[in-house]
Structure 1
Amino acid sequence: MSQALQQRGLHGVGLNELLTQAQAPKGVLYHHFPGGKTELAVAAIEATVGHITRALDDLLAQKADPQPTLRGWFAAGLKQLERGQFERGCPLATVALESTAEDTALRQALAQGFSAIRERIALLLARGGLPEPQARRLAALVVSTYEGALLQARVAGHVGPMADSAAALLDLLDTLMPPTP
C-alpha cells in the first residue's frame, strides 16, 4: 500500500489494485478494514511512520551524531527518488497533499505521524547539544525541508532541488550545532 501511495496517492490507486498487490480477496479488506480504503490508508500511514520512528529510535539509542544522521536521511531520500525514477515520493506527503477537510482520520494520522518524526529529530538535535526549544524548531525545519525538497525533486525529475536544499540545511546545522568534544 505504501508504494502505491508513493506513486499515485490515495485517490490515484484503486481498491482492486491494492487487493491484487496484497493477493487478498475483497472480503478480507472489509473484514479487517471496515472503513475501506481510508482505513487501509491510515494503517499504511501508521506503518510508514512506525518504520521511520523505529529507525530514528535506533539512532537515538546509539547516541548517533545529528549531522551525519541527517545527511544519511537526505541521501537515502535522494537514492529512493533515483531508484524510483522520480515516480515515488513520501507516502505521507502524497496523501497529505490530496487530503481535504473531510479526511479527518487521514489528517489526524498524518499530523500524529509528522509530530512523532519531528519529536525524534528534535531529540537527536538536543542530544547534539542544542537547547530543546531550538531543537524543536529546527526539527520542524528539517522535516519541512525534506518533504518540500523531495516534492520539488520529484516534479523536476532530478535530484538538484533536494540536494541543494539538503546541503543548505546541513550547512546551517553545522553553524548552529556546538562542536563535538
Structure 2
Amino acid sequence: MPRMPAPPPFEPARERLIAAMTDALRRRGLHGIGLTELLQAAQAPKGVLYHHFPGGKTALAVAAIDTVVERMSDGLDRLLQATPDPLDALRLWMSRATGRLSESGFEVGCPLATVALESTPADQALRDALARAFARIRERIAQGLRGAGMPAPRAEGIAALVVAAYEGGLLQARVAHSTEPLDRIADTLLALLAAPESPAPPKEPLP
C-alpha cells in the first residue's frame, strides 16, 4: 500500500491534519486509514488532534470536507468569472478534474463521493457535511448559469445534473484507469445542454 505524502512540516498542526485527512479521503476513503497512520502523515501527536478536533477522526473528516468544498467553490467561481460561457467553464472544470486524476495514476479521486459511498446512517455529522458540500457546489453552478440568463428552475436542475455526472464520471474513470468515461460524459452532457431548447408542443384546445 503506498505511503501518503506528508504535508510540509512548517504548516501549523491544524492545517497539517486537514491536509493529511484530505489526502486520505481522496486516496482511500475515511475507513481506509487508521488514526496512527494519519497522525504520522500529519506529523502531529494525538493530543494535538483532539485539541483542534475534539470529535476526533470524524470531526477532522468534516473539516477536510469543508476545506475541499471551499477550494472547489473558489475554483468554480474563478472559472465562471473568467469564461463568458458557463458551459465552457464547466467543460474546463471537468477537464481539470480528469487531468488531476490521470496525473495521480488514477489513485486520487474526489473525496466527497468516496466518503458518501462508505457513510452509514450513524455518520450523521459526515452526512450533514456532505449534504452542505454538494448543495454549495450545485448553487455555485446554478448561480453561473443564472448569470448567463438561464431561468432559475432550469439552472438549478442543470446544476444538479452536472454535479451528478461529475461525481459519477470520476468514479467510473478511477476504476477504469482511464479518463474516457468522464470525457464522454462531459462531451455528451454539455453538447445536450448547449443545444437550443425545443419549443413546447401547442396545447390542445379544450373541448
TM-score, L = length of structure 1: 0.93
Q: Larger helix proportion, structure 1 or 2? A: 1
Name which of 143, 150, 166 aligns with 1:146: 166
1:124 equivalent to 2:144? Answer: yes
Matches of 1:176 and 1:37, distance apart in 2: 48
How far off its partner does 1:97 sit?
0.6
Match of 1:168 in 2: 188
The residue identity in structure 2 corresponding to 1:154 is: R
User: 1:64, 1:124 within 8 Å by CA — same for their partners in 2?
Assistant: no
State the SS of the aligned residue for 2:149: coil
Deviations 1:12-40 (A, max 9, x none): 01112221221111110011111111000
Instruction: Assess, with a 3 A threshold, how the Cα gap between structure 1 residues 29 and 57 changes in structure 2: closer, same or farther.
Output: same
Note the 1:11-22 alignment, pairs <5 A. 11-22=31-42
User: 1:66, 1:125 within 8 Å by CA — same for their partners in 2?
Assistant: yes
Match of 1:99 in 2: 119
TM-score, L = length of structure 2: 0.81
Percent of aligned pairs with the same amino acid: 57
- The alignment's C-alpha RMSD in Å is 1.4
Matches of 1:7 and 1:86, distance apart in 2: 9
Mark the structure with the bigger radius of gyration: 2
State the SS of the aligned residue for 1:102: coil
Match of 1:83 in 2: 103
User: 1:6, 1:88 within 8 Å by CA — same for their partners in 2?
Assistant: yes
Matches of 1:154 and 1:176, distance apart in 2: 33
**Structure 1 residue ranges without an equivalent (≥5):** none
Name which of 91, 100, 109 aligns with 1:71: 91
Match of 1:23 in 2: 43
Matches of 1:104 and 1:12, distance apart in 2: 19
Instruction: Assess, with a 3 A threshold, how the Cα gap between structure 1 residues 101 and 87 changes in structure 2: closer, same or farther.
Output: same
Matches of 1:167 and 1:65, distance apart in 2: 15
How far off its partner does 1:174 sit?
1.1
User: 2:26, 2:111 within 8 Å by CA — same for their partners in 1?
Assistant: yes
The residue identity in structure 2 corresponding to 1:142 is: V
**Structure 2 residue ranges without an equivalent (≥5):** 1-20, 198-207
Instruction: Assess, with a 3 A threshold, how the Cα gap between structure 1 residues 71 and 8 changes in structure 2: closer, same or farther.
Output: same
Instruction: Assess, with a 3 A threshold, how the Cα gap between structure 1 residues 138 and 85 changes in structure 2: closer, same or farther.
Output: same
User: 1:46, 1:109 within 8 Å by CA — same for their partners in 2?
Assistant: yes
User: 2:26, 2:114 within 8 Å by CA — same for their partners in 1?
Assistant: yes
How far off its partner does 1:61 sit?
4.6
- Segment drifting more, 96-105 vs 20-29: 20-29
Matches of 1:102 and 1:134, distance apart in 2: 34
Match of 1:53 in 2: 73
Matches of 1:156 and 1:5, distance apart in 2: 19
Instruction: Assess, with a 3 A threshold, how the Cα gap between structure 1 residues 73 and 25 changes in structure 2: closer, same or farther.
Output: same
The residue identity in structure 2 corresponding to 1:165 is: I
Higher normalized contact order (CA 8 Å, seq sep 6+, divided by chain length): 1
